[in-house]
Amino acid sequence: MKFETGPTMKKMLPESPTWYTMSSASAHGLTWMLRQASPAFGSELEIKPDLMQAAASAQSAISASGLIVKSYALYYGHDPEPLIRESRQRRAMIDGWMKNAVGLQAQQQENRI
């Protein structure tokens, strides 16, 4: 049996199609993700947290928990909307932070030019 998680996650979480890929790559230590931590061969490994990847991972976790809550609530005959609303609010907070971070990065790039 061949199961590919990426396409399934795109279908299950259409509002965040690439977050799973980004968080999965860092979680599984893919070479290209690890290579970013060391800029040149032979240099010391420098681990810096990528806050955008951490935020994307949080978004994926919140979305996944929302799907689980919704599934269980519907299965047991409850209204999932109040809990799903909380998940949307949490995601909106992180979205706002991510947009601000991107804006700050763009401003820093403009100031360097």
Tens of pLDDT, residue by residue over 33-92, are 555 555 555 566 555 667 787 888 888 888 888 888 899 999 999 999 998 898 889 889
pTM: 0.54
CA distances to 4, 8, 19, 70 from 1, rounded to whole Å, are: 10, 15, 25, 28
Phi first, then psi, for residue 63 (nearest 5°) are -65, -45
Q: Which of 28, 21, 25 shows the shortest CA–CA distance to 6?
A: 21
The encoded tokens of residue 2 equal 């061949």
